[in-house]
Chains A and B, each alone.
Chain A
């Protein structure tokens, strides 16, 4: 007879078989049996966070930087509700997470027991799938299935809710099944015909553009390699969404920069004027498209996506290719080599006018800003940070707001999985715990959270986690004392009524760092900035860097609300001419 294991043991046996080496969690009454077993599974290291939301974002950072699913362990009730923001964040940005939550014993479910909540009910709309395990014999299978659902197809978060009595009960352990069948849901639904059509469109186009997104990153490093190969083989310009940054080198001449609301002038104009748009793993998000009725009016649109429901959701496309980016790109490259081995040569002539036009847009230099000798301009701070860290293979996380957009604009990524930011949900407080997760996955690498002072205060308690595990994360705060993006919108849309967007009683971040027993550094002038950044980089401990920047700098360029791609506000001078009026005001 094979050995019987308790539910708690089975949780860890499953994790072992799923090659989990780190979990992020916080103990509590309904998961105590699981925590009791932790010490018996040496290959699994637990990272104790200070708040369950932190566990969720740390797991996200871990997942995005490593390509492995992030694992979370929380207790029932408040433990589970605290992790909801992170689950929703992961759902929006397609990040594989497996959350194990404790639940009150089965006989108490529904009685409003202490720390009971309807966890599967609450998390149903923010997970790919979730399970309440009511029978110990289903436990192992359910956890294995959870890992499978989280990591296959379009990745996303899942949750397994385990009542406390189930954690004590004993049964045989079941290994994961080898077959990879997800209820008949396979992921590649394209045929050679679609690939041929794509190549046909590519060879006919004189104004093409690649528009790439997080799907390329999610498809694995190989997908980024293939993307580079395809972009070089075609000579087409490429732009990327916020989530796709790093899949193509940010400093390459064919790269037009990020597109969308705070994207570059050349990227947005090229999107508007192109005759062929090849969307690879992006989802026509409203921050990307601007006014949808006037979105790229004269282009043929191709959409490559693993999720059929992304196709024709916001924008109707002419050719849909449902499949994994890696597989689609490799088929495309193969066919391209076979059929149009001289594609680049024959194409150069055809797209030369297009490139001339792009160069014209480029010459506008839309990311330029007015420098200052007295105050640190936030863009300057990011530029300097980039220059001083670009040789280090650094990992960047961000919070949400102006600093996030400046980071996306001015920090150039050359590799996938180096850029972790909350795009879909826009979760302030994401970056610090995400940095914790990234550093756990990559202990020797430089991990920087480019933060705003308002965002970072939402999850500042995770500094304590960083200190406990000697995670030398660098929290680089662009401190303008305002919720900068809120302030910017109030300036542009609400007649400078800065309602509640100024934080009057900020902590002294240097003293705060000391209180957490890490290192605090402050930079006040452009002069001293480089030295201070170098000091931060030379510190092998967690650092909070308080970078005092211009308080009223706005993030440009910007597609104002209610406008299409080709009507951007370029900078402070331009902004008078394109006032946002009427309907645009009511939109976020």
Chain B
């Protein structure tokens, strides 16, 4: 948009969108997820995936992991806005490229077909710690843990082996080494 006539937020600058993994530690109280998710939708931020569960039973702390995309300015706003929420304790932000952080997603695949196909599917999953969770004569349920794009790829590749259903989690993240995020 060269020579925009706009006074308001039509920026000529084309900024790069980065993928970030935002980890939020919150009090596990009623409505807390709605607050976090509502902040994203209300301010027009993206959520690519979301994983949430209580991680400390005694302190009632839940850990929410959100994969989002945005310009550096938007990602910064997301963090600052999250920190303003009363039940939020801390907010961590990792770039997807960050080598010091482990990201993992889990997926369940249901394969229906003859034996050779079922075996083929299992073999195709070899790189991603496949676990056979259920087996019948006609079907398999395979669990894998991998990165998002790897699961994306497997969801495509397994079609030829008779993939009928996919269920997957959002990403969870943890730093490598002895350090923890404070």
Contact = CB atoms under 8 A, between A and B. Distances in A.
B86 interface: yes
A291 B6 contact: yes
A124 B38 contact: yes
Given A125-B42, A291-B7, A292-B11, A308 B73 contact: no
Main secondary structure of the interface of A (DSSP, over half): loop
Nearest to B35: A124
A584 interface: yes
Contacts of A292: 7-9, 11
B82 to A, nearest CB: 9
Interface in B1-44: 4-13, 30-31, 34-35, 38, 42
Nearest to B72: A312
B84 to A, nearest CB: 6
A424 to B, nearest CB: 15
Nearest to A148: B86
A229 interface: no
A290 interface: yes
Contact of A583 (B4, B11, B80, B87): B4
Contact of A584 (B7, B31, B38, B83): B7
Contacts of A314: 9
A307 interface: yes
A561 B80 contact: no
Contacts of B31: 120-121, 124, 132
Interface string A294-314: 000000000000011101111
A290 B7 contact: yes
Interface in B69-126: 73, 76-77, 80-81, 83-89
B38 A125 contact: yes
Interface string B35-64: 100100010000000000000000000000
A562 B89 contact: no
A559 interface: yes
Contact of A149 (B10, B73, B86): B86
27 contacts: A128-B84, A128-B86, A134-B30, A182-B86, A183-B88, A185-B84, A289-B7, A292-B9, A293-B4, A307-B84, A308-B80, A309-B80, A309-B83, A309-B84, A312-B76, A313-B73, A313-B77, A561-B6, A562-B4, A562-B6, A562-B7, A564-B7, A580-B5, A581-B5, A582-B5, A584-B5, A587-B7
Q: Which 3 A-B pairs have the closest CB atoms?
A: A309-B80, A583-B5, A562-B5
Interface of A: 120-121, 124-125, 128-129, 132, 134, 149, 182-185, 286, 289-293, 307-309, 311-314, 316, 559, 561-564, 580-584, 587
